[in-house]
Amino acid sequence: MFDARLIRNQFPILNTQDRKGQPLVYLDNAATTQKPWQVMEALADFYEHHNANIHRGIYQLADDATQAYESVRAQVAQFINATPEEVIFCGGTTEAINMVAHGWGYDTLSPGDEVLVTAMEHHANFVPWQVICDRTGATFKVLPLEPDGSLSLTSLEQALTKKTKLLAITQISNTTGIINPLAEITKMAHQNDTLVLVDAAQSIANDQIDVQSMNCDFLAFSGHKLYGPMGVGVLYGKSTHLEKMSPFQQGGSMIYQVSNNKTTFKKAPHKFEAGTPPVAAALGLGAAIRFINTLGMANIKAHAQELRTHAWGKLSDMNDVALYGVALESGAIISLNIKDIHPHDVATVLGEAGLAVRAGHHCTQPLMQHYGIVGTVRISFSVYNTLSEIDHFISALSKVKSLLS
Amino acid sequence: MSEDLKKLYQAVLMERQKSTLGFQKREDAQHIIEAYNPVCGDQFQIYLDIENGFLQKVSYHGYGCAVSKASSSLLVESLSAKSLVDCRSQLQYFYQCMDGKETQPPEIYEALAMSKNFPGRQQCATLSWDAIQEFLLNEKGT
């Protein structure tokens, strides 16, 4: 039985209060989720009982740490329906995308080639492609959006040509929650031999990801948006691509043999994990995945939808509130503005009422330019949010106008 | 509603952020100074001429929150027709008020200074002033 009130008990931070004694109403889950005690315990357990550097230690502690780390790789693979060899640990989504931009893009792209992104991308899935195109002479193309901020598949189909070497696209917009139908999109792209990199930063905690049925070529996500620790993330890549892709970073652990004249690298995924990886954080990620599996992704998704539908309905009824995105079938995110009031002023007043929301451009300045605005107030939901928290938010929002108008 | 919040968004600040006084583009200005906060996207241009060591025709334009707009408007009013020396003194006075080092600052300074009690908002109060300060550092005249 899914009960957000009971789930809250697993998150110690949700029992804390602010300076004024108000309970924390955390509605900034798209930025990072809070952590259940299981995750924190996994981190502490590693440092207390298993701390050793992995892969090269000829003693039991190091061997235990290595096995624990590799078992999380297998766990992640199962979570997204990949094989462990296709799962690369890294620092987070940004690093994962940069690994492909610099590892694959630098070797592959040349003048005449195109990289296509959408205007709803987070800067993390926009800027690396802009930069790598600049360096290689390839053309960086941004696919415009429909007026509501959604993607037109017809426009996408027209924009994809034989020149398009890669499409970088988010599964769920971090600003509006708009969902892109990736199975259809990858099919469309592959007809032109275009590779597809999916930014799954927002979708990983909110929908079941199956890289096989999605048929993406690369997929990136962060552990910290999935109830896991900051500092660990994953790049998934199809084995055929990873075999050919150059490592973005070089150093210890990733080498096969080094001599004065030449260095050879290990096979994937190890050739992409130079230096000491985030072992403790990876174990925390493993605990986070167990937490999610216990709740069930279908239940998590249904809960988020209930919260979003409730909030969207209430917000639609409010005068002078502009909503961005679409009403139905969106991720657990809503962006809004109150007429003539700057999002930061709104967020400051809400913050005083104990509400943690985000305000600004959300690292999606091209999307803000599409809407002709500078920023929005964004609320985003998670397993521990309740309908009464949404009502508290709506009530506080209505007070913003009386203070700032 | 907290007292701090009322002190920040008090009438003097709200009236000033709505005021159109000095809110004007002037593309032919001798100097167009950019005040930009990449965190939130707030962006103002401050227009001014320098004639015989005095700031003339000072105005601003752009987009920002209530605090950064009110603060930019105050800047325009405070620096208009002032000598470079007086401008530097005015800047010093402003920052002293923001740091709470002036015992009886005028109401608008007091309101802006409240921003430091709110996470991430002090930079809204100082955005345009920081840009002018940097500009004046490179402006050798007295």
CATH code for position A300: 3.90.1150.10
Domain end position, chosen among A261, A293, A325? A293
Do the domain assignments include residue B13?
Answer: yes
* pLDDT at residue B141 in the model: 60
Q: How many structural domains are present in chain A?
A: 2
Contact A375 B40 (CB under 8 A): yes
Task: Please check whether residue A200 lies inside any domain of the structure.
Answer: yes
Tokens of B92: 């010093």
> Amino acid identity of A96?
A
Identify the CATH number of the domain in which residue A57 sits: 3.40.640.10
Give, as one character, the DSSP assignment of residue A272: G
Whether residues A26 and A79 share a domain: the answer is no
Q: Does A127 touch chain B (CB under 8 A)?
A: no
B123 CB-contact burial (10 Å; exposed 0-12 / middle 13-18 / buried 19+): middle
| Residues of chain A neighbouring B67 (CB-CB closer than 8 A) | 344-345
Q: Name the residue among B1, B67, B119 with its Cβ closest to that of A351.
A: B119
SS3 A42: helix
| Domain termination residue (choose one: A293, A326, A347) | A293
C-alpha span between A236 and A242 (Å, rounded): 9
Computed on alpha carbons and rounded to an integer, the radius of gyration of chain B in Å comes to 14
Substitution target from A348, A364, A399 for chain B, most B beta carbons within 10 A: A348
Average pLDDT per 10 consecutive residues for chain A, totaling 405 residues:
92 92 96 98 97 90 96 98 98 98 97 98 98 98 98 98 98 98 98 98 97 98 98 98 96 95 97 97 98 97 96 96 94 96 96 96 97 97 98 95 85
Identify which of A228, A342, A208, A354 has the alpha carbon closest to the alpha carbon of residue A290. Answer: A228
Catalytic residue positions of A?
A: 363
**What residues make up the domain containing B37?**
3-136
Buried b / exposed e over A225-243, threshold 16 CB at 10 Å, is bbbbbbbbbbbbbbeebbe
Question: Chain A, 308-367: which have a CB under 8 Å from a chain B CB?
Answer: 341-345, 348-349, 351-352, 359-361, 365
Query: Do A340 and A367 sit in the same domain of this protein?
Result: yes
Residue A270 maps to a domain: yes
What's the pLDDT tens digit per position in B17-63? 998 889 999 999 999 999 999 988 899 999 999 999 999 999 999 99
Q: Which residue from A171, A164, A199 is spatially nearest to A185, judged by alpha carbons?
A: A171
Band of pLDDT at residue B1, cut at 50, 70 and 90: low
Cα-Cα-Cα-Cα dihedral sign, residues A173, A177, A180, A183: positive
Q: Give chain B's domain count.
A: 1
**Cross-chain residue pair A345–B43, CB shorter than 8 Å:** no
- Asked if the structure places residue B19 within a domain, the reply is yes
Instruction: Decide which of A240, A269, A293 is a domain's last residue.
Output: A293
In a domain, A35, yes or no: no
Distance from CA of A374 to the nearest CA of B (A): 6
Instruction: Give the DSSP per-residue string, B29-98.
Output: -SEEEEEE-TTT--EEEEEEEEETTEEEEEEEEEE--HHHHHHHHHHHHHHTT-BHHHHHHHHHHHHHHH
Domain membership flag for residue A242? yes
Same-domain pairing of A218 and A329: no
Which residues have C-beta within 8 Å of that of residue A314, sequence separation ≥ 6?
Answer: A390, A391, A394
Q: Write out chain A residues lying below 8 Å of B2, CB-based.
A: 20, 352
What pLDDT was estimated at residue B138? 85
The residue range of the domain holding A64 is: 40-293
Residues of A in contact with B9 (CB under 8 A): 345, 349, 403-404
First and final C-alpha spacing in chain A = 44
Facing B41 at nearest CB: one of A351, A360, A404: A360
Whether residues A171 and A229 fall in one domain: yes
Q: Which of B8, B10, B65, B114 to mutate to test the interface with A (most CBs of A within 10 A)?
A: B65
**Cβ contact, residue pair B64, A342, below 8 Å:** yes
In this structure, is residue B77 part of a structural domain?
A: yes
Answer yes or no: do A366 and A230 share one domain: no
Question: B124–A344: do the CB atoms touch at under 8 Å?
Answer: yes
**Residue A249 near residue A274, CB atoms below 8 Å:** yes
By the CB < 8 Å criterion, does A20 face chain B?
yes
Same domain, yes or no, for A93 and A113?
yes
Q: CA of A400, closest CA in chain B: separation in Å? A: 10
A253 and A117 share a domain? yes
Interface size between A and B, measured as CB pairs under 8 A? 54
What is the predicted pLDDT for the residue at B142?
55
Q: What is the CATH number of the domain that holds B118?
A: 3.90.1010.10
SS3 A117: strand
Task: Out of B2, B41, B66, name the one closest to residue A375 (CB).
Answer: B41
B107 membership: H or E segment, kind and range: helix B107-113
Q: Are A242 and A261 within one domain?
A: yes
The verdict on A177 and A201 lying in the same domain is yes
| SS3 of residue A329 by DSSP | coil
Residue A360 inside a domain? The answer is: yes
User: Is B110 contained in some domain?
Assistant: yes
pLDDT averaged over chain B? 93
Q: Is residue A222 part of a domain?
A: yes
Residue A401's pLDDT is 85
Q: Report if residue A8 sits inside a domain.
A: yes
In a domain, B142, yes or no: no
Distance from CA of A322 to the nearest CA of B (A): 17
Question: Are residues A333 and A213 part of one domain?
Answer: no
Q: CA of B5: which chain A residue's CA is closest?
A: A349
Tell me if B141 is assigned to some domain: no
Task: Give the model's pLDDT for residue A218.
Answer: 99
